[in-house]
Amino acid sequence: MRIGLLGTGNVARSLAQGWSDAGHDVLLGSRRPGERTDLGLPVADLGETAAHAEVLVNATPGGVSVELLRSIGAPALAGTVLIDVGVGLSDDFTELSHPNSSLGEQIQEAFPLTSVVKTLCTMDSTVMTAPNALDGPSTVFLSGDDAEAKRTTARLLGDLGWPLSSQLDIGGITTARGQEHFALLFMGIAGGLGAHTFNINVVTRPSAQGQPSM
């Protein structure tokens, strides 16, 4: 599959390498591709990356993501699955850029012909592509309004090492705010542990699995 990743930071590079290792055709998108030739992965400008992609991944800082996507243009994004892993945080990482919404929702509203799926934003980049390196199973969440886009995303998560048993579909794109708001708790846990390489696991009593709460 042709995967375009917007961004050249740790998250974009980690995901690109993981999917490349799984056999996908990856391309990193940068506003200054000529300055990013030392990454060991192919880099192009944003428009070329979007044109290349069957699936586009937003791995840009959440505070500028919508503006950056608008610079590419809605027609170029129409009909594309967009996996959003961004979170908008203040410079000191203490406040969210979208406190009453989410970046995922903002992108979906701005680009209604693009199927947005929110995932992977509740963990560090080192865990995104190596979930088996943790001490036990953990959970990755999916939010989005398009069922087929979520199935495509689930397959790509599987290629990174996330079995279906670790994937939890939590509903439509409005549930993306729950994933993004976890960023504040993530920072607290990281401070308590003194490390960022961890994840959470959703556990239930065996008798409660698949049963609605009353």
Residue 209 maps to a domain: no
User: Is residue 111 within 8 Å of 82, Cβ to Cβ?
Assistant: yes
The reply to whether 115 falls in a domain is: yes
| Total domains in the fold of the chain | 1
Q: Residues 134, 199: contact at Cβ < 8 Å?
A: yes
Nearest to 120 by CA among 94, 139, 136, 135: 139
Question: Is 189 part of a structural domain of the chain?
Answer: yes
What dihedral angle (degrees, nearest 10) is formed by the CA atoms of 200, 205, 211, 214? -100
Domain CATH for 20: 3.40.50.720
Query: What would you report as the CA-atom Rg of the chain, rounded to the nearest whole angstrom?
Result: 17
CA distance 147 to 169: 10
Is residue 146, in this structure, part of any structural domain at all?
Answer: yes
Per-residue pLDDT of the chain (214 residues; tens, 9 = 90+): 999 999 999 999 999 999 999 999 999 999 999 888 889 999 999 999 999 999 999 999 999 999 999 999 999 999 999 999 999 888 887 888 888 899 999 999 999 999 999 999 999 999 999 999 999 999 999 999 999 999 999 999 999 999 999 999 999 999 999 999 999 999 999 999 999 999 999 999 887 555 554 4
Residue 107 placed within a domain: yes
Residue 211 lies inside a defined structural domain of this protein: no
In a domain, 121, yes or no: yes
The domain containing residue 101 runs over which residues? 2-203
Q: How far is CA 40 from each of CA 4, 47, 71, 165, rounded to the nearest angstrom?
A: 15, 20, 26, 33
